[in-house]
Structure 1
Amino acid sequence: MRVIPTPIKKILDKWNIRGLVILSLVFQTSLIFLAPLRKRTSKKLLAVILWTSYLLADWTANYAVSQITKNQGKEPEPDAPPMNKKLLALWAPFLLLHLGGPDTITALALEDNALWARHLFGLISQALAGVYAVVQSLENALWPPITLLFITGVIKYTERTRALYTASLDKFKDRMLKPPDAGPNYAKLMEEYKSRKDSNLPTNIILIEEPAKHERPPTLVLPDRPDLTDLEIVQYGFKFFDTFKGLVVDLIFTFRERDESRDFFKELKPEEALRIIESELGFLYESMYTKTAILQTGFGTLSRVIAFGSLLSSFFVFHLRPKKSMDFHGADIVITYTLYIVGIALDLVSMVMFLLSDWTFARLRRLKDDPDEEKKSCVDDLLNWLLAFRKPRWTKHRCKGNRIHEVLTTRFLLRRWSGTIYGFSFIGYCLKAKVSRIHQKRIRSVLSEFVRETVVSTFDFVIRRTQMLAGWIENVDRSNRIFIRKWSRRSWMVRYTVYPLYTVFFLGIPWVFGKLWGYVDRIFSLKSHLDQIRFVSSEPLAKNQWEFIFKELKHKSEFAETPEIAKKVSSARGEWALRDTNVTEVESLMRYVENVDYDQSLLLWHIATELCFQTEEEEEEEEEKEVENRSCDDREFSKIISDYMMYLLIMQPKLMSQVAGIGTIRFRDTLAEAERFFKGKQVKKQRDMKKASSTVISVSNYIEPIHVKGDRSKSVLFEASMLAKELQKLDESSSSSSSSSVITTSSSNRDGKWRVLSKVWVELLSYAASHCEATEHVAQLSRGGELLNFVWLLMAHFGLADQFQINKGDARAKLVVGEGE
């Protein structure tokens, strides 16, 4: 008995190779167009499609080559054209070309680059398999186009292997290492010194110090005009990428490179700095995940010209061959033409992407030594016109505080990164409440947001109903068990019949499903993905928010003149920001950053920020105060960064692995205490974040929570409540000082709680950015990028990062004869 019916098996035998070849072509086409999108968004759907296409593309091509090889050893079918099997041998080098992959993606993840040796072995084995398939088809009149296609396929696969090789971290580091510096020849210098002394000549050794910073001419000169051009942004981005790509492999930088970068960025406008870092991260992404870096060399360009020329030549040789319709099957001819035409079209698309890439613009027009003296050319004007399409777009949006902010709204296909700041609210998650956005939605995205909200609401509704049903079943089961247990005590028949059946079916089945769900969730993290869909919010980057971050880091860099101070400043977790504020209650707040772990500090300040944010909104609605009288920007930016840091801690643990500590345990313990508290206060079912926040604030804190519950539970809920009350005192003391009859300058300019919170959150953000592993920053670029990546690179440019060391330069010894000692 056949498992597969004979008619279906005949169809599969006839179309399996054809279907595999077409499927391989579909995967290649999808990769070349979808791969560039992954640096612009972090959507899970795109990631799943790319992951599937990337893995199945290699499998399909490998399997198809094996099927072609197997087919060449079979006897031809009676009704097949005389030379049809010879045509199938032509498809083997096409599959080798597909295994070379598109230019837009070589590695799906950073770890794939370390597997370059596996791809090299794959190149050799697949080339031999293709040659074996062709040898089996000899004598084959199609050997000229087959040979030309083999040249193209080998070049493409070699490019992919070489790209993986150069992007692997160990080889990436080796190529960046400078020649070893043995320093002055000490032995020779001592011999000369001794011989001069023995000859009674006045001899001395002097040290020629490196010139001081103010004595060195600046290596980078900003043009004397208001704004940098789009081409200059890319040129400076490429220049700093070439210098600071060593951050990825923890190389040591010289003091000259530090000073050059810091002095340059101090003179930039915040938006210009953002655009340069955008371009810089784009170069880093292309060097790690695409073929761009190797194609931008002379050898890479020559190999691509040869590969494309071989592909075209093979097409024309096949096209000019007579009697194709008599020698080959009609469907196979169509498939072959499709392979040629789509392959040529994809190569042309790759060339257009290559020519329009930032890398090409930066190499075509080198950075000028003096931008003001050299005149612009028509080429510069053309490149500026093309780059203007990728310029960040800012749109004025009205936020919840009725303030107008400019937010990043660059069109999707023109973005260099996602431009989104994600958020996760602890109290919102505890109440399972929907967290509203601060910035209103764009009109263009109303439909997409409506679809997304509908999907999320459907998910939320199904999950809530499932949880309600599970709770109802649990309550019914508890009542039934009590009843059956009492009944079984009175009747031995019930004890040995009804009670065991109930235990097995009504308790065993839910237990089995619960265990099964636990295993599935443990393997695929389904609950985490569902929580991310339901409870993660998103905000666009606001221009003045980036300006505030830029100015704060710029201000901190002014103190970082030595590597020791720079390391101390970059290691601050809020204490530096608190001392830099104009408040007298610093010491009462300092214990929430100095005497606690970083993950504990994050959770404390996040909950305190949420409590202040929700309760103050309520006050505003009641008192109807003017928005202009409040620090609206600081309040909203504190809320956004607070939610963002909680999102990183809970939803992006890899980015926070170096600083997270026991953050997950603290989060779970705090969540358990909050759920118990809200349930007891009848607040949880209402899902009202304002009421929940005011309820937490209303709890008296006469005694420290740790003195009541000890250190067994890591919950920080009511410590955060105490911190929120301390922060609220800042506004109270500020308002009382400003309303008194005698107002001093210091009291009238006191910082309120939102100014303090905004500074502390920028410092907590910069601490996480500088202590995150560089490889995780690079890995995040393939998932849309994060604000954390920009802060990391900005800190490096300001000389604040502690991921690399800055050596001070060497003084050179010189032997001087004829001078007194």
Structure 2
Amino acid sequence: MQVIPPPIKKILDKWNIRGLVILSLLFQTFLIFLAPLRKRTSKKLLAAVIWTSYLLADWTANYAVSQITKNQGKEAEPDDPPKNKKLLALWAPFLLLHLGGPDTITALALEDNALWARHLFGLVSQALAGVYAVVQSLENALWPSITLLFITGVLKYTERTRALYTASLDKFKDKMLKLPDSGPNYAKLMEEYDSRLASNLPMKIVLIKEPDKHERPPTLVKPDRDLTDLEIIQYGFKFFDTFKGLVVDLIFSFHERDESRDFFNKLQPEDALGIIESELGFLYESMNTKTEILHTKIGTLSRFIAFGSLLSAFVIFCRRPSKSTDFHGADVVITYTLFIVGIALDLASMVMFLFSDWTFAEWRKLKDDPEEQKSPIDSLLNWFLWFRRPRWKEHPQCKGNRTHEVLTTGFLLRRWSGTIYGFNFIGYCLKAKVSRIHQKRTYNVLSKVVWESVILMFDCVIREIQMLSERIKDGNRSLGIVIRRWSKKNSMIYYTVYPLYRVFFSGIPWIFGELWGYIDRIFSVKAHLDEIRFLSSEPLPKNQWKFIFDELKHKSEFAETPEMAKKVSSARGEWALRDTKLVEIEPLMSYVENVDYDQSLLLWHIATELCFQEEEENLSGESCDDREFSKIISDYMMYLLIMQPKLMSEVAGIGTIRFRETLAEAQRFFKGKHIKNRDMKQASETILWVQNDIEPVSVKGDRSKSVLFDASILAKELKKLGEGSDIGDGKWRVLSKVWVELLSYAASHCKATEHVAQLSRGGELLNFVWLLMAHFGLADQFQINKGDARAKLVVGES
């Protein structure tokens, strides 16, 4: 008995190579156009498509080459054209070309770069396999096209291997290391000193110090105007070349720190955002694509040779006569498709190459005099870059009393996602949908209604399944009690009904429960469902970025030495509290100084939400901004703590345990108070009604890590802060400053490699804060405070 029917098996045998070749071409097409999108969004569906295409592309090409090699050794079928196998041999170098991968993605993750040696071995083995397939088909009249395609394939595969090699962290670091500086020749200086001393010549050793930064001419001059789009890219490329050493923990000199800090102190926040946006884009391209190696002389020459070889092979194949009689018609069509699509994809790659930020920055270097008259080429490049400029739109805020400009750059033109995600603790406890502060503007009302209906339906289905599961558990528990009671009184029931109950009503549900738990642990199904149901998103408000920029700029004024910079960047709220100049902040200090960072995050997040849920009237414009900014960053930091553990791995501590125990206490509290209508305002008021005359730790001890009612005490302390101070310091100004400090602490203590890895998932506000802190000198990498003094032997009076 055959598992696969003979007719189907015959079709599979006939079309397996053809299908694999077409599939390999499809994967290449998907990757070249979809891979650039992953730096613009964090959508899981797109990431899954790219992940699948990336993994299957290599597998398909490798398997197809093995099938071609195997097919060359078989006897020809009676109905096959006389030279058809020779045409199949032409496909082997095409598959080698596909293994070279598109220019837009070389590494799916940073770890892939470390596997460059494996790809080098793959290059050699696949080239040998292709040669073997061709040798089996000799004598082959298609050898000119095959040879040219081999040149193209080897060059493409070499480019990919080089890109992985240069982006691997150890090679990336080696490439950036400067020549070792051994300092002045101490031995020679002391020999001269001894000889002159023996000759009784008067002399002295003078230390020539490096000039102070105020004595050095500035190396970067900012024009007294807003930067053009081209200048933003040029400055971004310049700082990328300097600060890419952050990825491999290199240290920077005080010259580089002062140059960057002085320049950024003169920037407008929007220009700073654009520069950092382009810097992160360059960093993404250098670590995940072929862009950097293609912008070298060798890379450019390699690409022109590869394209010329591909085009020449196509022309030679087209001019070959009698293709219709020598080869199978379908195979000729597939070959033409491989050539035409391959050439089209190469042309598309060239267009992306020519119109990339990297090309513009390399082609037009920064001018020594920024006020020099711009050339027509600069104007043309500025026109191209204008389309990629960040777009801002006004949204009504504070119940329509004010407006905010928020980032709304088009999907295909943006350089990062531009989204601030949020996760709300109380909303998650109540399974409530958290409303957005900046409501989406959509002109397609029908699509909005349909999407919200789908989400609502999905949420209802999940709730019904959970309720049904609870009812089944309750019914099963009650039934078990009754059957066990009867089985004790009646032996017949004990030997008949009770075993059936144990198998069908107890054993089978337990098996399914264990199976579901196993699946959830492997694929994190519950976490993905929670993301769909409880994750909120906000566009980046311009005022909020300005507020973050001004806060870090203000802190940088105190970071004159590496020690002071480290102290400022290590603040977790205490610096912000002392900077408010309010006398009522002393009770708040214990919530940042005497607690772990993850505990502080959860405390301030719940306290912020309790304050936010109160209806506040007559808020000033600045306080209204601070209220909404605090809410956005509060939810964002909880999202990072719970949903992005890799980004917070250095500071998270026992954040997951503390969150789970606080969640358990909150759910028990809400259940006892019969709060089941998902009313976050009522839930917040109920928490605040609880008397806090005695601290929770005095009643519960320190076994439980829950901070629910500690946060309630913090919220009540915040409410005591004055709202109408002359300097504008109220509870919302305090909260906004504390949240910026908590955000900057997380950004500076996150591994640099995790920041870079996040760029391929849409990027985060955290990445921007990390790089902005580095530009302001608020980083551990600035270890050199003063330049080395150089000794000089001076003959004269001692």
TM-score by length of 1: 0.96
- State whether residues 148 and 312 of structure 2, in contact with CA within 8 Å, keep that contact through their aligned partners in structure 1: yes
For residues 494-533 of structure 1, the aligned pairs below 5 Å read 494-533=493-532
Distance in 2 (alpha carbons) for counterparts of 1:116 and 1:591: 50
1:701 is matched with which residue: 648, 671, 692? Answer: 692
Q: Which residue of 1 aligns with 2:770?
A: 792
For residues 476-487 of structure 1, the aligned pairs below 5 Å read 476-487=475-486
Distance in 2 (alpha carbons) for counterparts of 1:376 and 1:36: 31
- State whether residues 163 and 293 of structure 2, in contact with CA within 8 Å, keep that contact through their aligned partners in structure 1: yes
State the secondary structure of the residue aligned to 2:692. coil
Q: Which residue of 2 aligns with 1:634?
A: 626
Identity %: 81
Shift of 1:807: 4.3
- State whether residues 163 and 290 of structure 1, in contact with CA within 8 Å, keep that contact through their aligned partners in structure 2: yes
Q: Which residue of 2 aligns with 1:163?
A: 163
> Would you say 1:14 and 2:14 are equivalent positions?
yes
- State whether residues 106 and 289 of structure 1, in contact with CA within 8 Å, keep that contact through their aligned partners in structure 2: yes
Q: Which residue of 2 aligns with 1:744?
A: none
Distance in 2 (alpha carbons) for counterparts of 1:794 and 1:547: 12
Q: Which residue of 2 aligns with 1:680?
A: 672
For residues 117-266 of structure 1, the aligned pairs below 5 Å read 117-224=117-224, 226-266=225-265
Can you give the 5+ residue segments of structure 1 that lack an aligned partner in the other structure? 736-746
- State whether residues 253 and 807 of structure 1, in contact with CA within 8 Å, keep that contact through their aligned partners in structure 2: no
Q: Which residue of 1 aligns with 2:536?
A: 537
Q: Which residue identity is paired with 1:711?
A: D
Q: Which residue identity is paired with 2:28?
A: Q
Q: Which residue identity is paired with 1:789?
A: N
1:782 is matched with which residue: 757, 760, 775? Answer: 760
> Would you say 1:425 and 2:403 are equivalent positions?
no
Shift of 1:303: 0.3
- State whether residues 250 and 804 of structure 1, in contact with CA within 8 Å, keep that contact through their aligned partners in structure 2: no
- State whether residues 609 and 642 of structure 1, in contact with CA within 8 Å, keep that contact through their aligned partners in structure 2: yes
For residues 304-383 of structure 1, the aligned pairs below 5 Å read 304-372=303-371, 374-383=372-381
Distance in 2 (alpha carbons) for counterparts of 1:749 and 1:817: 61
1:812 is matched with which residue: 787, 790, 797? Answer: 790
- State whether residues 257 and 782 of structure 2, in contact with CA within 8 Å, keep that contact through their aligned partners in structure 1: no
- State whether residues 552 and 773 of structure 2, in contact with CA within 8 Å, keep that contact through their aligned partners in structure 1: yes
- State whether residues 84 and 326 of structure 2, in contact with CA within 8 Å, keep that contact through their aligned partners in structure 1: yes
> Would you say 1:392 and 2:390 are equivalent positions?
yes
State the secondary structure of the residue aligned to 2:214. helix
For residues 711-722 of structure 1, the aligned pairs below 5 Å read 711-722=702-713
State the secondary structure of the residue aligned to 1:343. helix
Q: Which residue of 2 aligns with 1:23?
A: 23
- State whether residues 582 and 750 of structure 1, in contact with CA within 8 Å, keep that contact through their aligned partners in structure 2: no
- State whether residues 284 and 759 of structure 2, in contact with CA within 8 Å, keep that contact through their aligned partners in structure 1: yes
Distance in 1 (alpha carbons) for counterparts of 2:776 and 2:243: 12
State the secondary structure of the residue aligned to 1:814. strand
Distance in 1 (alpha carbons) for counterparts of 2:782 and 2:124: 39
State the secondary structure of the residue aligned to 2:393. strand
- State whether residues 427 and 433 of structure 2, in contact with CA within 8 Å, keep that contact through their aligned partners in structure 1: yes
State the secondary structure of the residue aligned to 1:560. coil
Q: Which residue of 2 aligns with 1:462?
A: 461
State the secondary structure of the residue aligned to 2:481. helix
State the secondary structure of the residue aligned to 1:215. coil
Shift of 1:463: 1.1
> Would you say 1:749 and 2:748 are equivalent positions?
no
Distance in 1 (alpha carbons) for counterparts of 2:447 and 2:746: 33
Distance in 2 (alpha carbons) for counterparts of 1:2 and 1:504: 38
**In the TM superposition, what whole-angstrom CA distance separates every residue of 1:786-808 from its partner, at most 9, and x where no partner exists?**
00000000000000022553342
In the TM superposition, structure 1's runs of 4+ consecutive aligned residues that sit over 3 Å from their partners are 444-452, 625-630, 747-750
Distance in 2 (alpha carbons) for counterparts of 1:233 and 1:447: 39
- State whether residues 254 and 782 of structure 2, in contact with CA within 8 Å, keep that contact through their aligned partners in structure 1: no
Distance in 2 (alpha carbons) for counterparts of 1:238 and 1:447: 43
Aligned residues: 797
Distance in 2 (alpha carbons) for counterparts of 1:808 and 1:96: 53
Distance in 1 (alpha carbons) for counterparts of 2:151 and 2:228: 42
Shift of 1:784: 0.2
Q: Which residue identity is paired with 1:193?
A: Y
Distance in 2 (alpha carbons) for counterparts of 1:486 and 1:437: 54
- State whether residues 400 and 440 of structure 1, in contact with CA within 8 Å, keep that contact through their aligned partners in structure 2: no
Higher mean alpha-carbon deviation, 6-15 vs 456-465, is at: 456-465
Shift of 1:446: 5.3
Shift of 1:459: 2.3
Can you give the 5+ residue segments of structure 2 that lack an aligned partner in the other structure? none
State the secondary structure of the residue aligned to 1:799. coil
Distance in 1 (alpha carbons) for counterparts of 2:648 and 2:448: 29
1:669 is matched with which residue: 661, 667, 673? Answer: 661
Q: Which residue of 2 aligns with 1:710?
A: 701
State the secondary structure of the residue aligned to 1:214. coil
- State whether residues 89 and 134 of structure 1, in contact with CA within 8 Å, keep that contact through their aligned partners in structure 2: yes
> Would you say 1:102 and 2:80 are equivalent positions?
no
Q: Which residue of 2 aligns with 1:660?
A: 652
Distance in 1 (alpha carbons) for counterparts of 2:532 and 2:120: 40
> Would you say 1:68 and 2:68 are equivalent positions?
yes
- State whether residues 265 and 273 of structure 1, in contact with CA within 8 Å, keep that contact through their aligned partners in structure 2: yes
Distance in 1 (alpha carbons) for counterparts of 2:489 and 2:335: 82
> Would you say 1:561 and 2:560 are equivalent positions?
yes
Q: Which residue of 2 aligns with 1:743?
A: none
Shift of 1:2: 1.0
Q: Which residue of 2 aligns with 1:87?
A: 87
- State whether residues 57 and 99 of structure 2, in contact with CA within 8 Å, keep that contact through their aligned partners in structure 1: yes
TM-score by length of 2: 0.99
Distance in 2 (alpha carbons) for counterparts of 1:304 and 1:605: 54
State the secondary structure of the residue aligned to 2:791. strand
State the secondary structure of the residue aligned to 1:806. coil
Higher mean alpha-carbon deviation, 455-464 vs 289-298, is at: 455-464
Q: Which residue identity is paired with 1:769?
A: A
**In the TM superposition, what whole-angstrom CA distance separates every residue of 1:726-784 from its partner, at most 9, and x where no partner exists?**
000003xx55xxxxxxxxxxx54351100000000000000000000000000000000
Distance in 1 (alpha carbons) for counterparts of 2:345 and 2:678: 52
Q: Which residue identity is paired with 2:772?
A: L
**In the TM superposition, what whole-angstrom CA distance separates every residue of 1:680-706 from its partner, at most 9, and x where no partner exists?**
0001x1110000000001100000100
Distance in 1 (alpha carbons) for counterparts of 2:338 and 2:514: 49
- State whether residues 428 and 689 of structure 1, in contact with CA within 8 Å, keep that contact through their aligned partners in structure 2: yes
> Would you say 1:727 and 2:718 are equivalent positions?
yes
Q: Which residue identity is paired with 2:769?
A: V
**In the TM superposition, what whole-angstrom CA distance separates every residue of 1:45-88 from its partner, at most 9, and x where no partner exists?**
00000000000000000000000000000111111111000000
Q: Which residue identity is paired with 1:221?
A: V
Q: Which residue identity is paired with 2:37?
A: L
For residues 594-673 of structure 1, the aligned pairs below 5 Å read 594-615=593-614, 617=615, 620=616, 625-628=617-620, 631-673=623-665
**In the TM superposition, what whole-angstrom CA distance separates every residue of 1:330-356 from its partner, at most 9, and x where no partner exists?**
100000000000000000000000000
- State whether residues 27 and 53 of structure 2, in contact with CA within 8 Å, keep that contact through their aligned partners in structure 1: yes
Shift of 1:629: 6.3
CA gap of 1:375–1:629, structure 2 versus 1, over 3 A, is closer
Distance in 1 (alpha carbons) for counterparts of 2:728 and 2:740: 19
Q: Which residue identity is paired with 2:393?
A: T
CA gap of 1:450–1:104, structure 2 versus 1, over 3 A, is farther
> Would you say 1:771 and 2:749 are equivalent positions?
yes
Q: Which residue identity is paired with 2:693?
A: Y
Distance in 1 (alpha carbons) for counterparts of 2:609 and 2:781: 32
State the secondary structure of the residue aligned to 1:213. coil
Shift of 1:447: 5.5
